[in-house]
Structure 1
Amino acid sequence: MTDDDRRTRSGEIGPTERLAMNRTGSFDWDLDTGTIDVDEAGLLVFGLEPGEFDGRPTSLLRRLDPPERARLDAVVRAAITSGETSYTAQFRIDGDDGTPQWTHVQARILRTPDRRAHRIVGVVRDTTAEVTHSAFVLDLEKRREVQTSIVERTTQALSRAVTVDDVTAAMTGPGGLARLGADGLALGLVENGSLNIIALSGESLDALNDFRARRLDRGLPLAETVLSGRPRFASAFRTLGRDFPELAPYIDRLKFTSACYLPLVAQARSLGGMALFYRRHSAFNADERNLLLGLAAIVAQSLQRAILFDEERELATGLQETMLPRRIPVISGGEIAVRYHAAWSGRQVGGDWYDVISLPRGRVGIVVGDVQGHDTHAAAIMGQLRIALRAYAGEGHAPSTVLARASRFLAELDTNRFATCTYAQVDLGTGTVRAVRAGHLGPLIRHTDGRVGQPKLRGGLPLGLATVFGDEEFPETRLDLVPGETLVLCTDGLVEQPGSDIQVGLDALSEAVSGGPPEAEALADHLSEQLWERWGAGDDVALLVLRRSPDPGTPRAPRIHQYIHQADPQGLSDARAAVGQALRDWNMTDLADDAELLTGELLVNVLLHTEGGAVLTLEVLPEPVRRVRLSVQDRSSAWPRRRTPGEAATSGRGLMLLDALASRWGVEPRGEGKAVWCEIGPVQTGAAAGAGAVAGSPGPGQGPGPGAGLDPGE
């Protein structure tokens, strides 16, 4: 009697029995004889009865599929030939009923002193339960990873949503349904006893457009969910037609197999409902239901924040609209466009403003400013300051006086706030602009040839601070707008980019103004799109664009106007080139060279001997005699005088050129300054010449009279 038999009779379980009970057996494979000895437990693992095994390895493996058998043979052969002392392998054996069984082999290779393998001993074990459990765990982990990913991606997308539109865009935009793990979405909000569907996304869901707005009742599953506050999970989507007859006609058009309807509740307030649709069949197990309820909570919280933001923004927008002018007056001789853009963040209310004020004698006042701060207090101060500044301007005060009084007004409000602004009085008839600024950005001027200048406006302290520090000086700067030129005023929100120097923004603004359309409205839209959205809209923006109406003349008598700034030497060369090109375009090439030369002489005289820029006008005089007229206007009241230059003199020959090249020339008073003009072309004679002469203007070969010349003050 063996020890195992004795233990069995005594009720004890030996090692062999313990291994067999765990479906673990052993084998001894004699490589020299090609036979293998397998115990009963091992044969059971291979699916064999002891009486049907003949001791051959091929008989042991007859239940293995050929691919599995080949893979096992390759493992054993590689271990033997490589000189290893052990190997492991796992393979599948299908039972008689086709049920797969996973088997694990762990063996040791016994070798002779010369390293020749002659015997393999090992154990074989049924690992089906372990593999099945491992596959279950892997599947569970995979499903949990998917669920975690859905929650994380949805939370991340909604965390950036500020408005209700942002929430719907995050859920219905690119990747929205994939984030939710669904094939279709319907989102509804409760408003005044109605359920309004604000978002539908997914193929075939346009069939529900008939239900976008309707009274909140139990006729539809989403409304029923909102009223009851309980979710509804429909594993068989088509069965919903029985419970909701109104939905039944649409069931066949909706290509889904399952759906869930979730209430959206935040802080005990029912906001609406969300429906998710699936093309694959879903039984909605406990984990899936918990996931969907969690998603509904995330969406509800995002919607609650967005609804509150939209309500505050609507209130703030109404306040802002009452602070800004309701309409812009119609002006004669030009066009004005204004824009106000609130920052994306915050309550969409701030201290930026613009205004257009009708003034006596056909002038117009324009102002753009910014009160310190970005809140309702700043908006309230802005409203008061705007009205005060409008009143001071309407009384006819000079620009410097208007800002001085506005600064005093702001200081007396005792708000501890200051404001910056640029104010200008514009006479569109003459193009004269008188501008002042208080700690604010200066204007830009777009010239008729597309170039953009940044005039240097002398400035004072910000309003309010100027009074506190006792310095209410706001020096005026005179600018000139020739017909077709554009003045651009804005607040710093249009040019400031976080982390960059403001000059970078000013250069970008200049480039955008230069490359934009000429019309005021179109240019204002262009700047809004190019810059306000480019900088991220982190600050409010007030923008005002004023364009003086162009004066192209007529096809038979065209004209051009151009302003040349005193500090812009390149402008002189550009003006000469513009004159020559214009005459060539007008088929008057024979006069181009003389006109370019005289343009240079007239402009150099102004730029050297006066304190401002010059306005150049070139026009073709009406027939019968086709001539051109050059006129250069400046701000100096000193008239030119004739000089007799010596041989070595470097100036004083301007009149000699005029006499030699011009058929007529003269000087005319123009407001605060004068205009020196000349005509080039055939000389008029007889009555035509007399009728065309200007009082005080010399005829051919004549100067403007004694004491007149082109070098004032010399």
Structure 2
Amino acid sequence: MPGTVGRAPTSPTPAPGPAGVEPEATAVPAHPWADTPLGPQQGWDVTIRVLVDVILSCPVPMALHYGDDFVLLYNQAYAEVIGDRHPDAMGRPAPEVYADLWHAPGVGEVIERAYRHGESFLQKESVLPVHQQGTGEHTVFTRGHSPVRDSTGRIVGVLTVAAQTSQLTQQLQSLSDFAAALSGTLTLDDVARVTLRYALHSFDADQVSFAVDDGPAWRLVRRIRGELLDEADERLPPLWRPVPPDTTAPVVVGARSGVPFFAGDGQPLRDTAVDRHDQKIRSLAALPLRSSVIRGGLAVGYQTPHGWTAAERALLAASAELVGQAAERARRFETQHGTAQLLQRSMLPEQLPALPRLRIAARYDAGVDGNAAGGDFYDAFLLPSGDLGVVLGDVAGHDVQAAARMGQVRAALRALALTDPRPDAVLAGLDRLVASLGTETGTHELFVTVAFGVVDADRGEITLASAGHPPPLIRRTGPDGVATATFVELPTGAPLGLGCRPHTATVPFAPGDTLLLYSDGVVERRRQSLTAGLAGLAAAVAGAASGDPRALCAVATGAVPGATEDDVAVLAVEHALKPSRSAGMEMPAEPTAPSRVRHWMTAQLAEWQVPEAVIGAAVLCTSELTTNALLHAGTAARVEIDLSPERLLVSVADSGTRGTVTRAQTDTLSSRGRGLGLIEQLSDAWGTDPTVRGSTVWFEILLPTG
């Protein structure tokens, strides 16, 4: 057989392996090579002896394919590569070891080519078709195959050297996934959450930090290896820490200077450490974000010395580039979003009337992505007669012009109602105004719908009129305690500006009844009939736990399944069976504030003789809400409690622009973990309402009867 060495009748005593070689590798000399084409070790060609010594002592995966049969001899590193094929592969022909793979592209053919033709061959980023030991994944290698010649110059085998590139390949794939995840972020909180999770796992780091410039100061958020974060924690707004502008923290210094920072070993966070986690960091990379809109930085640290390879530096630079682009988009979005929201909400009433017999609540949710001002509006105001005027309207459009027209219509409606509160007269006057606005702007595309009503609590009735608007809904509770929800039979009429001739309808509005006005965004969905949407709304309102207006607003906005791109506005008015009792407390932005709120609330509810079980549940839920406001909005808040014979309503209103809790973010409340699971277990309804300067989170607990 070409390339074989003479055999001896018996195998010699195995020679000890090289010092420091793993147990599997020390077994190589003990193999009965006399039964293979290599023959006994004392007969090996000097070149082969030297090559085998190199293979066994090398930490890089190496294998010798010897002779026409390609008998395998390899080191410990290669044994780990081929997984469970070791140790049986040692001394056996490679075509037998890889019988299922030998004829696959890039496996046996490259070995045979190097052996038959004496050609060296390099396989870049190829998948070795065996599973890496301990994993279920294929391993990616760059492999070099070189012909091996003996001392006479004959080709006697092929040497394969494999450099694992799976980690780099995985990091590149992770970078692609990271870019995809960042593309879906809207706010800096979103960017920070995605960035910290990616960097911690992709770089297998002990600590990751993300910092951004907030004007006069900086803010920084950090993740540490081993932090126990559950699904709820992952959705919480990140806990940013303010950083002085003159800090020497490498991530901020790098962001200010635009120069990357790399430390292989030392104490890079010694001067700015805030805890033991910072003190343990020995190696750190801090890279600035590349953005013309926002300054920021990304830092990755290890608790052991770490040499930053060229590949790692390039990957970090690419990551920082992606983060910078996402942060720039987020800063622009937050600016536009804040402007649009402020414009929208500034045209809505900051406070609704507080009346002894009429409870009022409203809710507005911007459509599309919440980044544009819309035309939906609501209002409630006292008339000179002492009655209550209520209105909900919709000006078509999602731009500043629509919001401006909405403001004009709302202001005009109030003025007309204060002069002559009859609903048909008010809408007739508005029709003339909208027609005039269309003439002035030279457009006939003004589309405005409005429902307006006057509530007379003394008589227990409501007079309503509509200009192209969805029918009002009234929830009533019968003597048997069963609630029903029916639409008011009211001629719809044409939208304003199109020659509207409104008609009125007067219906009973007894104590215990609740009126609901809503925009078409509540009931309209794509590929679903309006009839189905109206039926779904009526069923949800009738099935609500109570007729409390705030709870009904939340029920109404989620009554019809499916997403809507339209604005959603709801106004609810309840004719209370009995006047309620109310109290409020300003909560400062201090760590002890939730404790003070708990003591105040416990004393107030006990004075009102609320059942102890209700007090305990309400205080616990309020503690969660106040802690959430303190941690994630970072501002002072106002806590209000309202007690009626049927239910206890508690609300916490903050004035922050970050940390708003939405219905879509389930399990996101609390100071780390318990969240909405607690609120939903202990309360009968809950919700969140955006306000002019922040958000209000509330819950209600029904009181036991009898």
TM-score by length of 2: 0.58
SS of match in other structure, 1:459: coil
- Alignment partners' CA distance in 2, 1:75 and 1:454: 94
SS of match in other structure, 1:394: helix
SS of match in other structure, 1:336: strand
Residue in 2 that maps onto 1:325: 349
Aligned counterparts, 1:151-550, within 5 A = 151-172=175-196, 177-178=200-201, 182-200=205-223, 202-203=225-226, 212-217=241-246, 219-236=248-265, 238-240=266-268, 245-247=271-273, 250=275, 254-256=279-281, 258-267=283-292, 269-278=293-302, 282-343=306-367, 345-414=369-438, 415=441, 416=443, 417-448=446-477, 449-464=482-497, 466-467=498-499, 472-524=500-552, 526-527=554-555, 530-531=558-559, 535-536=562-563, 538-550=565-577
Contact residue 150 and residue 181 of structure 1 kept, 8 A: no
- Alignment partners' CA distance in 1, 2:114 and 2:4: 6
The alpha-carbon deviation at position 172 of structure 1 amounts to 4.4
SS of match in other structure, 1:338: strand
Contact residue 263 and residue 270 of structure 1 kept, 8 A: no
- Alignment partners' CA distance in 2, 1:505 and 1:72: 84
The alpha-carbon deviation at position 93 of structure 1 amounts to 9.0
- Alignment partners' CA distance in 2, 1:123 and 1:348: 65
The alpha-carbon deviation at position 140 of structure 1 amounts to 5.4
- Say what the alpha-carbon RMSD is for the aligned residues: 4.2
How many aligned positions are there? Answer: 465
The alpha-carbon deviation at position 511 of structure 1 amounts to 2.8
The alpha-carbon deviation at position 421 of structure 1 amounts to 1.4
Residue in 2 that maps onto 1:683: none
Of 483-492 and 123-132, deviating more is 123-132
Contact residue 424 and residue 433 of structure 1 kept, 8 A: yes
Once the two structures are superposed, residues 73-92 of structure 1 have per-residue CA deviations (whole angstroms, 9 ceiling, x without a partner) of 7999xxxxxxxxxxxxxxx9
Aligned partner of 1:230: which letter?
V
Describe the shift of the 1:172–1:499 C-alpha distance in structure 2 as closer, same or farther (beyond 3 A). farther
Contact residue 553 and residue 570 of structure 2 kept, 8 A: no
SS of match in other structure, 1:355: strand
Describe the shift of the 1:270–1:386 C-alpha distance in structure 2 as closer, same or farther (beyond 3 A). closer
Contact residue 365 and residue 424 of structure 1 kept, 8 A: yes
Of 339-348 and 542-551, deviating more is 339-348
TM-score by length of 1: 0.58
Residue in 2 that maps onto 1:636: none
Describe the shift of the 1:391–1:234 C-alpha distance in structure 2 as closer, same or farther (beyond 3 A). same
Mark the runs of 5 or more structure 2 residues left unpaired by the alignment. 18-25, 39-49, 71-111, 127-140, 144-161, 230-237, 580-706
SS of match in other structure, 1:239: coil
Aligned partner of 1:446: which letter?
R
- Alignment partners' CA distance in 1, 2:451 and 2:113: 94
Aligned counterparts, 1:638-677, within 5 A = none
Residue in 1 that maps onto 2:100: none
Contact residue 281 and residue 301 of structure 2 kept, 8 A: yes
Larger radius of gyration: 1
- Alignment partners' CA distance in 1, 2:368 and 2:222: 23
- From 67, 75, 87, give the equivalent of 1:105: 67
Describe the shift of the 1:525–1:181 C-alpha distance in structure 2 as closer, same or farther (beyond 3 A). farther
Once the two structures are superposed, residues 139-182 of structure 1 have per-residue CA deviations (whole angstroms, 9 ceiling, x without a partner) of 45423421221211111111111122222232346x77435654
The alpha-carbon deviation at position 505 of structure 1 amounts to 2.8
- Alignment partners' CA distance in 1, 2:113 and 2:533: 79
Contact residue 154 and residue 180 of structure 1 kept, 8 A: no
Aligned partner of 1:514: which letter?
A
- Alignment partners' CA distance in 1, 2:428 and 2:304: 74
Aligned partner of 1:245: which letter?
D
Of 318-327 and 279-288, deviating more is 279-288
Residue in 2 that maps onto 1:620: none
- Alignment partners' CA distance in 1, 2:200 and 2:563: 27
Once the two structures are superposed, residues 11-32 of structure 1 have per-residue CA deviations (whole angstroms, 9 ceiling, x without a partner) of xxxxxxxxxxxxxxx54xxxxx
- Alignment partners' CA distance in 1, 2:405 and 2:465: 21
Once the two structures are superposed, residues 671-698 of structure 1 have per-residue CA deviations (whole angstroms, 9 ceiling, x without a partner) of xxxxxxxxxxxxxxxxxxxxxxxxxxxx
SS of match in other structure, 2:289: strand
Aligned partner of 1:493: which letter?
G
Describe the shift of the 1:293–1:142 C-alpha distance in structure 2 as closer, same or farther (beyond 3 A). same
SS of match in other structure, 2:539: helix
- Alignment partners' CA distance in 2, 1:473 and 1:131: 84
Describe the shift of the 1:219–1:286 C-alpha distance in structure 2 as closer, same or farther (beyond 3 A). same
- Alignment partners' CA distance in 1, 2:227 and 2:343: 43
- Alignment partners' CA distance in 1, 2:240 and 2:451: 53
- Alignment partners' CA distance in 1, 2:4 and 2:419: 112
Contact residue 204 and residue 254 of structure 1 kept, 8 A: no
The alpha-carbon deviation at position 403 of structure 1 amounts to 0.8
The alpha-carbon deviation at position 185 of structure 1 amounts to 2.1
Describe the shift of the 1:487–1:204 C-alpha distance in structure 2 as closer, same or farther (beyond 3 A). closer
The alpha-carbon deviation at position 341 of structure 1 amounts to 1.7
Residue in 2 that maps onto 1:583: none
SS of match in other structure, 2:558: helix
- Alignment partners' CA distance in 2, 1:310 and 1:288: 32
- Alignment partners' CA distance in 2, 1:72 and 1:427: 108
Aligned partner of 2:572: which letter?
V
- Alignment partners' CA distance in 2, 1:185 and 1:315: 32
- Alignment partners' CA distance in 2, 1:124 and 1:179: 37
- Alignment partners' CA distance in 1, 2:483 and 2:492: 27
Q: % of aligned pairs identical?
A: 28
Contact residue 102 and residue 131 of structure 1 kept, 8 A: no
SS of match in other structure, 1:460: coil
- Alignment partners' CA distance in 1, 2:317 and 2:552: 48
Higher helix share: 1
The alpha-carbon deviation at position 264 of structure 1 amounts to 1.2
Mark the runs of 5 or more structure 1 residues left unpaired by the alignment. 1-25, 28-40, 44-52, 77-91, 109-121, 553-714
Describe the shift of the 1:171–1:500 C-alpha distance in structure 2 as closer, same or farther (beyond 3 A). farther
- Alignment partners' CA distance in 2, 1:210 and 1:486: 41
Which is bigger in relative contact order (C-alpha 8 A, separation at least 6)?
Answer: 2
Of 175-184 and 326-335, deviating more is 175-184
Once the two structures are superposed, residues 566-586 of structure 1 have per-residue CA deviations (whole angstroms, 9 ceiling, x without a partner) of xxxxxxxxxxxxxxxxxxxxx
SS of match in other structure, 1:413: helix
The alpha-carbon deviation at position 290 of structure 1 amounts to 0.8
Contact residue 360 and residue 550 of structure 2 kept, 8 A: no
The alpha-carbon deviation at position 545 of structure 1 amounts to 0.5
Describe the shift of the 1:170–1:211 C-alpha distance in structure 2 as closer, same or farther (beyond 3 A). closer
